[in-house]
Structure 1
Amino acid sequence: MTRPLYCDESIWIPVADGLRRRGWPVKTARGQDTLGDPDRQQLQYATENEWVFLTFDDDFLSLVASQGLEHTGLIYIDQRGRQIGDVVKTADTHLDTRADDDYAITYL
């Protein structure tokens, strides 16, 4: 996968940094000046840029399911009980096998 990841504000900065160190192109809400934007706008912003949306916030799953919002790939990571390194490794392993044209919702 070579499309950039868009990490919403729920993603810990060290996770975004860890993914960058592993060679993934990463955009963050902080870096894109979208901190505090409503969830709907965050998802729309990533979709308009054709970025894969990465989040810890399960509200995005509800938004997509109940409102049928479009996306260009959504990865939800349940971070409960996980250390930063584990989250980075889990995401990295998934991204290594994810096709560039995979617009699915993934639960990790």
Structure 2
Amino acid sequence: MTKICFHLDENVDPVVAAGLRRYGVDVTTTAEVGLRSKSDPEQLAYVCQTQRVIVTQDRDFLIIASQGYEHSGIAYCQKGSRSIGKIVNALILMYEVLTPVDMKGKIEFL
């Protein structure tokens, strides 16, 4: 089974990436791929091109998705609503039970 790859936007603490990597999850961050301060559509273009699920705490991505923009999946967590450990655990669960096909065009609320 093909596994989900994640991309953390700049609103998500990079410690989440470290937690995911400890489990062997393929994850990039906005800073690592040179997208810091790029627009949300540019972020979405990157995740579509690389077939990654974007992990965000930015509501703007929910608005963009509702406007019909294509995306490989969005994992959304309201800022301050979950600890880093709970975010990592939720993403690990997604990684274990969902595929990239399951997530295409979908939003998963953490």
**1:80 Cα deviation (Å)?**
2.2
CA contact (8 A) 1:46 1:71 kept: yes
Which sections of structure 2, spanning at least 5 residues, go unmatched? none
CA contact (8 A) 2:3 2:98 kept: no
Matches within 5 A, 1:47-58: 47-58=48-59
Deviation sequence 1:44-75 (CA, Å, 0-9, x none): 1111111111111111000110x211001111
- The 2-side partners of 1:11 and 1:23 are apart by 19
Number of equivalenced pairs: 107
Residue 47 (structure 2) pairs with residue 46 (structure 1)? yes
2:84 counterpart residue number: 84
**1:79 Cα deviation (Å)?**
4.0
Shifted more, 97-106 versus 15-24: the winner is 97-106
| Percent of aligned pairs with the same amino acid | 32
Which sections of structure 1, spanning at least 5 residues, go unmatched? none
2:17 counterpart residue number: 16
**1:90 Cα deviation (Å)?**
1.6
* TM-score normalised by length of structure 2: 0.88
Shifted more, 23-32 versus 95-104: the winner is 95-104
Shifted more, 86-95 versus 53-62: the winner is 86-95
Runs (4 or more) in structure 1 with deviation over 3 Å come to none
CA contact (8 A) 1:43 1:71 kept: yes
- The 2-side partners of 1:92 and 1:106 are apart by 13
1:26 counterpart residue number: 27
CA contact (8 A) 1:79 1:87 kept: no
Matches within 5 A, 1:53-64: 53-64=54-65
- The 2-side partners of 1:63 and 1:9 are apart by 17
* TM-score normalised by length of structure 1: 0.90
